Amino acid sequence: MINEPEMNKITAVLKALSDPNRLRIFSELMSGDSCNNELMDKLDLRANLLSHHLKVLSEAGLITSRRDRIDGRWIYYPVDREAAAQWHQWFNNFFDPNRIQKRVVCGPEGQLNFIPEGQIEVVSTSELFVETN
């Protein structure tokens, strides 16, 4: 079971990556650090839209930013490697097919497991409806 703080964190990341532009930006940043101008050119995004998406990715903890040491007007955006490693592990665990368990279903089919064999009468769905005039 996922606790509420963890659920909020997971939801923030999934929401951040659910937007096609943010997914494109994040995918590009997985290739290495980039700056605004390069991202705008590669992804054909306006500066204000790019800035908004970078802020959402940053607030979700997926990317960080740093200023150029020579010219502080330049800002570089790297993927947070630790966060990427944590989410890689989380998604691998979450989508692990071995987690899927067989269980008794909750509807009528599930009740068949509690009826002794030989006493089961299967009824077609057409027999379940009665016409009234």
Q: Is the pLDDT of residue 114 over 70?
A: no
Residues making up the chain, counted from first to last: 133
Distance CA 51, CA 59 (A): 12
The answer to the question of residue 30 being in a domain is: yes
Q: How many domains does the chain have?
A: 1
Distance CA 72, CA 18 (A): 31
- 24: domain CATH number is 1.10.10.10
For residue range 75-104, list pLDDT tens digits in order: 999 999 999 999 999 999 999 999 998 887
pTM of the predicted model as reported, rounded to 2 decimal places: 0.76
For residue range 28-68, list pLDDT tens digits in order: 999 999 999 999 999 999 999 999 999 999 999 999 999 99
CA 80 to chain centre: 17
Which residues span the domain enclosing 77?
A: 4-99
